[in-house]
């Protein structure tokens, strides 16, 4: 290796670290994280000040509107639905449950995607061909249709089972993204230096290369979590989600089955939809912020 290669090998991580440190101050990233944190904090406080037992059927009067509408009751500020569930209690319980599904899907898909993506990108050859083919196949399969079939055969659906079912196809995207990044990094100077020092392949992949891919890992995690929540809500809206554990998707599904729109009970489906929108907006902003961290052109450094 030439002297210039040694200089590049030393300077590349330092230059990358300084750029990453300045890019982490993205307003979109902080705003999105703030919205998500606010939802989590309100859910925690809600469990302290709101009786979560009211999220069970027949625990409250039926079909009450919000308290600022005639016929409303201050004991049920956001109203109730036709099974006697309090909407505020449903949001307090269902919001974190929906986020939990997304976190499980994101974590599961990232573990699988990181292992497969790094292995395929770094080793190349037949391993790369097999992993790439499987990932491409998983991306082209109509996953929602298959998830509907699988969910219909699961006798008892809970949060963990729902997350595992959704994770069956969520790993393919992170695998492809990380494979592409590893392919572009494996010939850089500091990776060649690590090879010359005799480091093992796992240490090079996960000890040397992975820290420089943290923005990509975080962005892939957020994307997988967002996609997992969307897929879970879709299944729940079709009545294939958890029935005993309140979630936002289940609440919307019950509103659809109860003809809430035709009956003018906008609060039944409206409040869960607003919370879902806030969750997706926060995740979208976080993903954009992480993209700016990992892509210099998006933050104006590449001009």
To which residue do tokens 């003018």 refer?
Answer: 264
Question: Which carries the bigger pLDDT value, residue 78 or residue 239?
Answer: 78
Mean pLDDT, residues 145-150 taken together:
82
Q: Cα angle vertex 210, ends 23, 291, to 5°?
A: 35
Given a cut of 50, whether residue 30 has pLDDT beyond it is yes
pLDDT of 298: 56
Q: What structural domains and CATH numbers belong to the chain? A: 3-299 (1.10.3720.10)
pLDDT of 22: 52
Highest mean pLDDT among 25-34, 74-83, 140-149, 241-250: 74-83
The tens digit of pLDDT for each residue in 282-299 reads: 999 988 888 777 666 655
Q: Give 80's strand partners.
A: 86
Question: Which carries the bigger pLDDT value, residue 129 or residue 295?
Answer: 129
What secondary structure does DSSP assign to 161-230, as a single string? HHHHHHHHHHTHHHHHHHHHHHHHHTTSHHHHHHHHTT--HHHIIIIIIGGGGHHHHHHHHHHHHHHHHH
Mean pLDDT, residues 118-125 taken together:
87
Highest mean pLDDT among 20-29, 189-198, 278-287: 278-287
pLDDT of 8: 43
DSSP state, 296?
A: G
Query: For residue 86, how far is the Cα from the chain centroid?
Result: 27
Across the chain, what does the average pLDDT equal? Answer: 82
Q: Are 113 and 210 in contact (CB under 8 A)?
A: no
pLDDT of 24: 58
């Amino acid at each position: 290796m030439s002297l210039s290669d040694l200089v590049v090998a030393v300077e590349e991580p330092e230059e990358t670290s300084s750029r990453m440190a300045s890019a982490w101050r993205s307003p979109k990233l902080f705003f999105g994280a703030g919205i998500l944190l606010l939802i989590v904090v309100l859910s925690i406080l809600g469990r302290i000040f709101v009786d979560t037992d009211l999220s069970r059927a027949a625990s409250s009067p039926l079909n009450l509107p919000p308290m600022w509408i005639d016929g409303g009751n201050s004991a049920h500020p956001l109203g109730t639905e036709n099974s006697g569930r309090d909407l505020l209690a449903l949001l307090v319980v269902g919001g974190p449950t929906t986020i939990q599904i997304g976190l499980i899907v994101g974590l599961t898909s990232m573990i699988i995607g990181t292992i497969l993506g790094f292995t395929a990108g770094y080793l190349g050859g037949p391993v790369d061909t097999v992993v790439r083919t499987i990932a491409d196949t998983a991306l082209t399969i109509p996953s929602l249709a298959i998830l509907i079939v699988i969910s219909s055969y699961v006798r008892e659906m809970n949060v963990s089972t729902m997350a595992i079912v959704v994770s069956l196809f969520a790993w393919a995207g992170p695998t492809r993204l990380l494979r592409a990044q590893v392919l572009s990094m494996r010939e850089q100077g500091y990776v060649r230096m690590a090879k010359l020092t005799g480091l093992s392949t796992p240490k090079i992949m996960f000890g040397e290369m992975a820290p420089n891919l943290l923005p990509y890992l975080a962005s892939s995690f957020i994307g997988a979590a967002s996609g997992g929540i969307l897929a879970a809500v879709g299944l729940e809206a079709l009545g294939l989600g958890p029935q005993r554990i309140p979630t936002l998707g289940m609440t919307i599904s019950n509103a659809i089955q109860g003809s809430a729109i035709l009956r003018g009970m906008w609060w039944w489906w409206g409040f869960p939809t607003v919370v879902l929108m806030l969750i997706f907006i926060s995740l979208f902003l976080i993903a954009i912020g992480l993209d700016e961290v990992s892509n210099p052109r998006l933050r104006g450094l590449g001009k």
